[in-house]
């Protein structure tokens, strides 16, 4: 692994940092959030302004070709920008799905008129997009989707339910995967569409999480009509379109995962007390902090190996399949220990316990979800076993059967 930027990457990093310093406020701590105290309307408005500013500077879609409105840059330049932006107080978690997955899919598969209509508006912050894949009975197994798409003339009528749809409550459009043929095998009968999130028959219900956030939603679809011109790719070609969508996620390897939690533990252990003494003086606490450091260092090294591949123009290797599994378990272990260190008082909100506990409490409450989102631990282990270690695949008897014949 090479931890250093190339001369070209170092120059780009300097350029990005200078622009961010001129247009945004640096964070005073890793835990500081731009949107603290904001409601959804205020968050979205601020995100639209920031996105428009990024687009004007050329940073909205760094890897996209210039003719599509991007910079024509490299994946590594996108990673560098994301790393540098993480040090500044800027709106986050509004346009990530739009730019990272949805708009690239539209640009690849939509008819020219729709590309021309939606891609520039998405880049400029005028439209926000979400991804409607998961369902109550089809999470990690996307091939199990049961939302029904029936063709009537030059329209499709959609009925079904989606769940865990991030940001649906403030999105303008979404990319929707539905089953258009029940007589084909599960992965062959799917079709992808552009969905107007304000169309008649679309109902969005926020899911309130125990952390107090509600970025996820259920989406109910009742006789929703979508023109056939809004289909992405061929009929029953939705699986291939979906795979192209997920391929774009690899550019986020640069580290939305927190890798500084051992520092949080040290600070909390200096303030928490065990048996009348600072917890940091207990050898068991110091040992757990050391283990947390090793866990976080392992995550950093896996990320660095992936970044080295991207920097050299290669696709990250099989080690990236391990990243989510290791990081998710590490975050849960570290935050659980922090709450254990707080003792019975750890059940209090950070408003009463102390503001320094706010970040770790939110992460602790969110940690179980990290191990579910994007594929459960069990799915990740299957991927690692079959695609990384080359072990025999799990027996799957449903691949060739018509979907309507599968057990529900």
Question: Where residue 254 falls among pLDDT bands split at 50, 70, 90?
Answer: very low
**What's the rounded mean pLDDT across residues 158-175?**
96
Q: Which CATH superfamily is domain 257-388 in?
A: Butyryl-CoA Dehydrogenase, subunit A, domain 3 (1.20.140.10)
**What's the rounded mean pLDDT across residues 398-403?**
84
pLDDT of 52-92, one tens digit each?
999 999 999 898 888 777 888 988 898 899 889 989 999 98
The two counts, helices (H) then strands (E), for the chain are 13, 12
Residue 84 CA to residue 223 CA, distance in Å, equals 45
pLDDT surpassing 60 at residue 376: yes
Least confident of 24-28, 38-42, 249-253, 329-333: 249-253
**What's the rounded mean pLDDT across residues 123-149?**
92
The pLDDT of residue 255 is: 46
Bridge pairing between strands 216-227 and 202-207:
antiparallel
SS3 25: strand
The pLDDT of residue 401 is: 87
Bridge pairing between strands 202-207 and 190-196:
unpaired
pLDDT surpassing 60 at residue 294: yes
- CATH 1.20.140.10 spans which residues of the chain? 257-388
pTM: 0.85
pLDDT of 88-97, one tens digit each?
999 988 998 9
- CATH 2.40.110.10 spans which residues of the chain? 129-247
SS3 216: strand
**What's the rounded mean pLDDT across residues 324-337?**
87
Bigger pLDDT: 299 or 117? 117
Nearest Cα to Cα of residue 82 among 320, 311, 304, 256: 256
pLDDT surpassing 70 at residue 264: yes
CA geometry: angle 248, 119, 134, nearest 5 deg: 45
Bridge pairing between strands 173-179 and 129-132:
parallel
pLDDT of 237-253, one tens digit each?
999 999 888 766 544 44
**What's the rounded mean pLDDT across residues 269-287?**
91
CA geometry: angle 122, 125, 131, nearest 5 deg: 50
CA geometry: angle 16, 255, 217, nearest 5 deg: 110
CA 187 to the chain's CA centroid: 23
Task: Give the percent of the chain with pLDDT over 90.
Answer: 49
CATH 3.40.50.12500 fits 129-247, yes or no: no
Nearest Cα to Cα of residue 144 among 185, 103, 175: 185
Tokens found for residue 87: 């040090």
């Amino acid at each position: 692994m090479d931890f250093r930027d190339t001369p070209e990457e170092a120059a780009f990093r300097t350029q990005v940092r200078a622009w961010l310093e001129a247009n945004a406020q640096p964070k005073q701590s890793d835990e500081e959030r731009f949107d603290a105290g904001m409601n959804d309307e205020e968050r979205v408005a601020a995100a639209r302004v920031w996105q428009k500013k990024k687009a004007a500077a050329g940073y909205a879609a760094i890897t996209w070709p210039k003719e599509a409105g991007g910079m024509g840059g490299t994946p590594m330049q996108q990673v560098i920008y994301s790393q540098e932006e993480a040090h500044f107080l800027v709106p986050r978690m509004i346009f990530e799905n739009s730019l990272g997955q949805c708009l690239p899919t539209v640009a690849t598969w939509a008819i020219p008129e729709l590309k021309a209509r939606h891609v520039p508006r998405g880049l400029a912050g005028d439209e926000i997009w979400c991804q409607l894949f998961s369902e109550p009975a089809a999470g990690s197994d996307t091939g199990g989707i049961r939302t029904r798409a029936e063709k009537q003339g030059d329209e499709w009528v959609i009925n079904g339910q989606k769940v865990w749809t991030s940001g649906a409550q403030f999105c303008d459009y979404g990319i929707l995967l539905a089953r258009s043929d029940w007589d084909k095998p599960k992965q062959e009968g799917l079709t992808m569409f552009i969905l107007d999130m304000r169309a008649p028959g679309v109902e969005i219900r926020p899911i309130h999480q125990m952390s107090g956030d509600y970025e996820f939603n259920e989406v109910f679809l009742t006789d929703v009509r979508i023109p056939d011109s809004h289909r992405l790719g061929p009929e029953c070609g939705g699986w291939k379109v979906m795979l192209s969508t997920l391929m774009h996620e690899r550019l986020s390897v640069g580290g939305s995962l927190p890798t500084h939690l051992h520092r949080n533990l040290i600070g909390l252990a200096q303030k928490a007390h065990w048996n009348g003494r600072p917890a940091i003086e207990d050898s068991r606490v110091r040992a757990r902090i050391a283990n947390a450091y090793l866990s976080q260092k392992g995550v950093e090294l896996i990320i660095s190996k992936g970044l080295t591949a991207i920097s050299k123009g290669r696709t990250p290797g099989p080690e990236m399949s391990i990243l989510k599994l290791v990081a998710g378990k590490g975050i849960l272990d570290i935050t659980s220990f922090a709450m254990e260190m707080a003792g019975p008082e750890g059940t209090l909100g950070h408003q009463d316990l102390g503001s320094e506990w706010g970040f770790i409490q939110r992460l602790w409450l969110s940690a179980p979800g990290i191990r579910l989102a994007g594929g459960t631990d069990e799915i990740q282990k299957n991927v690692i076993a079959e695609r990384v270690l080359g072990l025999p695949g799990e027996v799957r008897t449903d691949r060739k059967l018509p979907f309507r014949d599968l057990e529900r």
